[in-house]
Each structure stands twice: as C-alpha cells, then as structure tokens.
C-alpha cells in the first residue's frame, strides 16, 4: 500500500524574546500522513536550513506524550486537538491535503515567549517548588501494606499525578489560570497520608505563588479539562479550594 502524502500551508508565529512577533507562511510539501506533527516541522526546518533560512524554534524532548515539553496552538487548539493528545502524538493523518494551519505558541501572561513556538513555562516549576517536600523517613522501602490506603484515594491520587505540566490548561483558559495544574499537584499529596504533615502549608504556598506569578483566576469555564492531554478532572479544583480554606482555618486556630 502506497504511503499517502499531503501538502500543507503553515502560518507560523515567529518571534524573538522581548520583541514583537509576526506570522510567516511556509509550505510543507510531500508530508507522510504517518508522520507526527513534530516530524512534519522537522521536514520544514530541514528545507529552511538548506535554503539558508532560520528554522522554526519549537520545544520537544521525549516525543512520546510523557514529558509535556512540546506544546503549541494549532488552528486555535492546544496541542492541535482535544482528544487527550500531546502535540508530538498528533499525526498528520488528522489533516487533509491542502489544509492551511495556523501555528502559534501558548498564549498566557505567565508564559512569555522565548522564541517562536517556545514559551517559558518555568512559572509552573516555581509553583511546584513552593510546595516544598514530603517528610518521609529515608532508607529501604517499607512493606506495601505498612500504610493502608483506600483504593479510591489511591486511584484519585494517581489520576492527579498523571499531570505532565505541559501548560495546555493555562493556554486554554480565557483567564490564563493555573488552577487545574496546581490542584492536581495539591491533590496528588493531599489524598495520601504521606502528604499530611505539610498539607496546610503546601496548598497555601502554592496558591500564593500561583497568584504572585500572574496566573488568572478560575471562572469555571472548564476549557482546562477539555484541553488537558491527560484528562485531569476539574474535581481537583474543588478539592484545592477546600484544602486552601482549611489551611487558613488551621492557621487561625
């Protein structure tokens, strides 16, 4: 069976850090439909390099939907689709021959553009860092049954831990909120007994850091959950709010 090839017109955002950006148009020709979106950009960049032009800057690492480093808006959608897929796992068979695509970086006040499609997502790392550490005794691993955990709590904690920090939730939110991301990181530990010692201080510090870094407020649009490639549930936002209120109550006592 012959491989299917398609041709695309790409309107790509080009920008240097601290400067104004603009869209530039490129042709992606003879693209294998089995290729990933990033592989398509590789082909375009190879042609640009051969022509003596500067290639398009975009971020990537594992290309397996695990690391969360790749991310851009394709046709106005985070990661190019809303079917729980990262950009590196989006394949060209999702498009038709002759399609015209607009490709731009994630848009959020807390995500300044570094270059072209690459944004600075270190604000998410600062939120996580502000949560501190989990106090546990080091040494050999304890028996699995040492700390019994109800299955529903363990499952919910694992679901929250699936967040890869790609920032799609922030880019999809009309307010640029990081509530889904932050709530996933809070729930990951709040649901488990190992996270109990720093439970109050963790949520307080993370929320305060999130606000300080310029992320917007949550207005229950739920665009974040739709855009999330790992399907993080908005119920974690409700848990974050409860944890934050409880932390302030404990502080007053």
Q: Single out the residue in 85, 114, 143 at which a domain terminates.
A: 114
Residues 74 and 177 grouped into a single domain: no
Residue 144 burial (CB count, 10 A): 8
Which residue, among 95, 96, 12, has the nearest Cα to 47 in the 3D structure? 12
248/217 same-domain check:
yes
Last residue of a domain, one of 114, 132, 167: 114
- Kindly state whether residues 89 and 129 are assigned to the same domain: no
CATH of the domain at 99: 3.10.20.30
Interval 72-130: pLDDT, tens? 999 999 999 878 999 999 999 999 999 999 999 999 999 999 999 999 999 999 999 99
Q: pTM to 2 decimals? A: 0.92
């Amino acid at each position: 069976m012959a491989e299917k090839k398609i041709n695309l017109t790409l309107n790509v955002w080009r920008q240097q850090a601290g400067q104004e950006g603009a869209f530039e148009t490129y042709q992606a020709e003879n693209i294998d439909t089995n290729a990933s979106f990033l592989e398509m950009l590789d082909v375009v960049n190879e042609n640009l390099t051969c022509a003596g032009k500067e290639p398009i800057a975009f971020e990537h690492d594992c290309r397996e939907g695990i690391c969360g480093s790749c991310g851009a808006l394709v046709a106005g959608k985070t990661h190019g689709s809303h079917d729980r897929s990262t950009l590196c796992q989006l394949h060209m068979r999702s498009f038709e021959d002759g399609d015209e695509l607009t490709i731009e970086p994630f848009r959020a006040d807390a995500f300044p553009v570094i270059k072209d499609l690459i944004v600075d997502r270190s604000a998410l790392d600062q939120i996580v860092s502000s949560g501190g550490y989990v106090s546990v005794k080091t040494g050999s691993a304890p028996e699995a049954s040492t700390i019994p955990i109800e299955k529903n709590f363990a499952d919910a904690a694992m679901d929250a831990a699936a967040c890869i920090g790609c920032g799609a939730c922030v880019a999809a939110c009309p307010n640029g909120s990081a509530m889904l991301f932050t709530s996933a990181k809070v729930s990951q530990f709040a649901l488990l007994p190992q996270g109990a010692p720093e439970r109050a201080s963790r949520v307080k510090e993370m929320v305060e850091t999130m606000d300080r870094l310029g992320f917007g407020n949550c207005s229950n649009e739920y665009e974040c959950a739709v855009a999330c490639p790992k399907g993080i549930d908005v119920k974690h936002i409700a848990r974050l709010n409860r944890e934050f209120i409880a932390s302030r109550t404990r502080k007053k006592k």
